[in-house]
Amino acid sequence: MSLVSSRVRTKVAKGEYTPLWIRVWHWAVAVLFVILTYTGIALTFSTSKFALMNYELATTWHDVTGVGLTVLFVLFIVFASATGYWRIYADRWRGLLDRVYQQGRRVLTWSPRKRSQTPIGQRRLDTTLPFLLLCQQFLYLLSVVVLLPLLIITGLPYLYPELAPEKVMGFAGLWTIGVAHYVVGLFSTLFLVLHIYISTIAGFRRMIKGR
């Protein structure tokens, strides 16, 4: 049984309102992921001659924030299931790729000379913004459903090496998982950069006030 009223669900589905618990969860994940990104870079690229921070400290912070991210993801699943909020994600996904394609076509065919297609005085940004927001919505759903779980699954064996398989496709299990964790982390960092960029255009008000 859903704890979200049909009126609130409609407002959320239209993008007019973001519940408080989602906003708190979002900012908490954002803070943890920034820490994970920085410590992950420090652990990956630090050398004996140059280090972004103390290696042991970076390891500790990376492990702690990784566990925190896992806990937040589990809580998200629990709350999304209990409140019926998962239906919002299902509603947003329906036809999303087609909307991205249609908006992308409008951006590619944009021209200030085509007055029947583009109102006089309309900036290119006004045409591009809907496309960017749809792309952000697609990437956000992808990050929650795919990237975040993969990041957690590939990260946990480093805390519990005994859980890692000895061999994966002929390679050492922990090494293979490490490469996968690095690749997923790379894509997640790229998403973070794009997410912040699009948010600077669209504004942060919704994730602060909910409207």
Per-residue pLDDT of the chain (211 residues; tens, 9 = 90+): 444 555 655 655 555 677 888 889 989 999 999 999 999 998 888 777 777 888 889 999 999 999 999 999 999 999 888 888 888 888 878 888 888 888 888 777 766 555 455 554 456 666 777 778 888 888 888 888 899 999 999 888 888 877 777 777 777 767 888 888 999 999 999 988 888 887 777 667 777 777 7
* Same-domain status, 76 and 125: no
Contact 131, 103 (CB under 8 A): yes
Asked if residue 192 and residue 111 are part of one domain, the reply reads yes
Which tens digits make up the pLDDT trace of 160-195?
877 777 777 777 767 888 888 999 999 999 988 888
CB within 8 Å of 85: residues ≥ 6 apart: 4, 12, 19, 22, 79
Question: In the chain, what is the straight-line distance between the N-terminal and C-terminal CA atoms, in Å?
Answer: 26
Considering the domain architecture, whether residues 143 and 44 belong to the same structural domain is answered as: no
Identify the burial level of 115 via C-beta atoms within 10 angstroms of its C-beta, where 0-12 means exposed, 13-18 middle and 19 or more buried. Answer: exposed
Assess whether 138 and 75 both reside in one domain. Answer: no
Residues 182, 44: contact at Cβ < 8 Å?
yes
Domain check: are 84 and 103 in the same one? no
Residue 51 lies in a domain: yes
Residue 69 shares a structural domain with residue 102: no
Per the CB < 8 A criterion, the answer to whether 29 and 79 are in contact is no
- Give how many domains the chain has, as a whole number: 2
Q: What is the pTM of this model?
A: 0.76
Q: In terms of residue numbers, what domain contains 194?
A: 95-204
